[in-house]
Structure 1
Amino acid sequence: MAVIAVGIDVVDIARFGESLERSPGLVARLFTESESSRPLASLAARFAAKEALAKALGAPVGLAWHDAEVVSEESGRPTMEMRGSVRRAADDLGVASVHLSLSHDAGIASAVVVLES
């Protein structure tokens, strides 16, 4: 396996919360049903993960927010499920695995994505 790309993103949790309050439909547009019930800091980290994944994929046009979903393994470890437009972009790059790390502290949420062949 070789590293194909790395993506990183950070989100100011308070500003993200303000955006969600201003645009109530934003949660449904950005997150899957299972993601949308998470607390604000977790939503911000998941948004950062989707942005980091898009960056690692080269930010191709046409990626759908619901085609990337952060799910937690039984251990709590976050993983990224890809389908549809996101899966096609990953396949085009030869992505075989995705590594994901999330964090939120001191008002900032962050995510790092590593794509491997």
Structure 2
Amino acid sequence: MIAGIGVDVVDLARFERAMTRTPGLRDRLFAEPERALPLRSLAGRFAAKEALLKALGQTDGVRWHDMAVVADTEGDPDFMLAGRAAEIAAARGITRIHVSMSHDAGIATAFVVAETGER
């Protein structure tokens, strides 16, 4: 059963300006494995994290590092949750999170579906 959905878009030029203007954002927003990626990929991951927050619903106490976008065994995007994000997902019975990211025309977008084991 679907427990929540979220979608987010990021303007690539605006994201690049913010990252250039505030270099510490890379460390503050992204987990270690994500930081070496190019800005275009980081923008997609930022959109995915924002979409996940919407899908989770309750987000009090969630930190950016509690959500890392990683590749699954087939190379597709997936989330690695920790801390408060993992606690919220467990409390809501969320057993699977689907994420899709795309880039086009100067925009990065992400769509997230949070699913419980119930039917």
TM-score tier, shorter chain, comes to over 0.9
Alignment of 1:1-117 (within 5 A): 2-117=1-116
Q: Gapped runs of 5+ residues in structure 2? A: none
TM-score by length of 2: 0.93
Counterpart residue type for residue 85 of structure 2: V
Q: Gapped runs of 5+ residues in structure 1? A: none
- When structure 1 is superposed on structure 2, of 5-14 and 53-62 the one drifting more is 53-62
Q: Secondary structure at the match of 2:52?
A: helix
CA distance in 2, matches of 1:62, 1:17: 27
Root-mean-square deviation over aligned CA pairs: 1.0
CA distance in 1, matches of 2:75, 2:102: 13
CA distance in 1, matches of 2:34, 2:90: 24
Query: Identity of counterpart residues, as a percentage?
Result: 50
Q: Contact 2:58–2:88 (CA<8 Å) still a contact in 1?
A: no
Q: Secondary structure at the match of 2:94?
A: coil
Give the aligned length.
116
Counterpart residue type for residue 65 of structure 2: H
